[in-house]
Structure formats: C-alpha cells, structure tokens
C-alpha cells in the first residue's frame, strides 16, 4: 500500500486501540512508484500528528516515519528494531506521560472527531513537498496547533432562516443533522465533525448555516417549536 494512503485518523485509531507506538515506512522521497508522490503527504501527516500528540500530552517519539527502497532490507530491519526498542523504553502509552487511561481515551476520542476539520484547515500544508530534513521541525509549530484547537469552528443552523430543504442533512457525511420535513433542521454538536459541508451546500438564498468560532453555539430550538409555518398564496395576496 502506498504510504500516501496513511491518514491522520489511521494513526490516532492505532493509539486509541492501545498501540504504544506507530511506525510508517514509505518509498524514498522523489522515487514514488506510482508518480503520485504520496510519501510527501505521509511525511506531512506524520509531522502534523506529532504536534497533535504533543498538544494532548503524548510523547511524539511514539510515532516514526522512515523512507527506504524495497532493496534496503537490512536498513528496514535496523530502523524497525531501533523504533521497537525506543517504544519499549517509553513504556505503555500514557503511563510515562502521566495520563490516566480514561483521560487518554477521552482526549484521543475528541481529536479523532476533529480529524476532518484538521485536514481541511491544514490541507495546503499537507500537500507541500519538503526538500530538507531541516524543514521538518518547524513545518507545523506548537503555537499553530494550539491555535488550531483553541479556535475550533462550530456550525449552527439559524432557525429564522432554515427552510427545511434537507440538502444539508442529505450531504452531511456524519449524519449529524436532525431533519424532519417542514421542521427547522438542527445540528447535533456531539456528532458534528466540523467539516463545513453544511455551510458549503446551504443554498445562498437561505444562508441558514453560520460558522461560529471562539464562542458557544446557541442552544438548539426545542422540538415543539421547530415546525415551519409557511405563508399561503392567499395570505401573501391579502
């Protein structure tokens, strides 16, 4: 499998499943077998994930990415064994970092839910081809990632503008929008993955979906008040 298939969600899933370390091996940079240069994307994904790990209190050394050719069997064995020894020295995930199992599970679950949002916000950088090892350390900065999590956006459907067209509900990849015909739609904030699809597909003539950052999302409209009363043509004429 091309290392370009490695997703931020895959790495976080592995840690959520209790893995103490994650090792990614890819073809040499600039020697892509498929001409897609997916290994650059894998590299940037790993660099991003290391900063995310730091943000939630995990040692970024638990994640490693190396590039080599299929002919370098000896080198593959050496770097793999070195990584295994390093992870053994670090100990069980969370223990050396002083994070309890319940807290760690909660932190990883929250970050995994934000993976689509993180990828959208860092899409341009994830597609960058780094040309030197010196660029790796500061490609994603701690301040940048702290700000990313501090300013997480949320989406809210304005009940005064929603026309219950159901477009956002049909397009939502997380099925996070509660929709009933002729009723104001409501975003389930617990299910929302912050991808912004609802914001993008809401018809401009309605403009019902708003993006919120740095402030709490208004409470959802009570179910008994969600019915939309539409004006009849007779009423409009009168």
Measured CA to CA in angstroms, residue 73 lies from 61, 63, 68, 70, 113 at distances of 23, 21, 9, 7, 37
What pLDDT is recorded for position 235?
46
What pLDDT is recorded for position 2?
85
What pLDDT is recorded for position 236?
45
Measured CA to CA in angstroms, residue 3 lies from 28, 29, 45, 105, 202 at distances of 11, 11, 10, 26, 35
What pLDDT is recorded for position 199?
97
Residues in the chain: 238
In a structure prediction context, what are the per-residue pLDDT tens digits for the chain, which is 238 residues long? 788 899 999 999 999 999 999 999 998 888 877 777 889 999 999 999 999 999 999 999 999 999 998 899 999 999 999 999 999 999 999 999 999 999 999 999 999 999 999 998 999 999 999 989 999 999 999 999 999 999 899 999 999 999 999 999 999 999 999 999 999 999 999 999 998 999 999 999 999 999 999 889 999 999 999 999 876 654 444 4
What pLDDT is recorded for position 229?
85
Alpha carbon distance 160, 228 (integer Å): 9
Give which of 84, 93, 96 is closest to 20, Cα–Cα.
Answer: 93
Alpha carbon distance 136, 115 (integer Å): 21
Pick the CATH number of 153-237 from 3.30.70.20, 3.40.50.2300, 3.20.20.105, 3.40.50.300: 3.30.70.20
The CA-CA-CA angle for residues 78, 56, 27, to 5°, reads 30
Q: pTM above the 0.85 mark?
A: no
> Would you kindly state where each structural domain of the chain is located, as residue ranges?
3-150, 153-237
What pLDDT is recorded for position 232?
62
């Amino acid at each position: 499998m091309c290392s370009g298939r490695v997703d931020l969600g895959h790495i976080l899933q592995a840690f959520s499943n209790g893995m103490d370390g994650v090792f990614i091996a890819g073809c040499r940079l600039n020697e892509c077998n498929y001409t897609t240069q997916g290994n650059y994307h894998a590299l940037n994904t790993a660099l991003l994930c290391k900063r995310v790990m730091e943000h939630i209190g995990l040692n970024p050394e638990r994640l490693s990415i190396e590039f080599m050719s299929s002919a370098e069997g000896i080198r593959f064995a050496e770097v793999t064994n070195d990584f295994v020894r390093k992870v053994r020295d670090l100990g069980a995930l969370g223990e050396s970092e002083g994070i309890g199992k319940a807290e760690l599970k909660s932190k990883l679950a929250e970050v995994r839910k934000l993976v689509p949002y993180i990828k959208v916000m860092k899409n341009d950088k994830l597609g960058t081809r780094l040309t030197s090892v010196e660029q790796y350390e500061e490609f994603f900065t701690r301040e940048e990632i702290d700000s990313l999590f501090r300013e997480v956006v949320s989406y809210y459907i304005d009940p005064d503008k929603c026309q219950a067209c159901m477009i956002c509900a049909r397009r939502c990849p997380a099925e996070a929008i509660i929709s009933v015909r002729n009723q104001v739609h409501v975003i389930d904030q617990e299910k929302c993955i912050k991808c912004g699809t609802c914001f993008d597909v809401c018809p401009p003539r309605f403009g019902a979906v708003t993006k919120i950052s740095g402030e709490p999302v208004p409470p959802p409209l009570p179910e008994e008040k969600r019915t939309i009363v539409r004006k009849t043509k007779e009423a409009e004429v009168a």
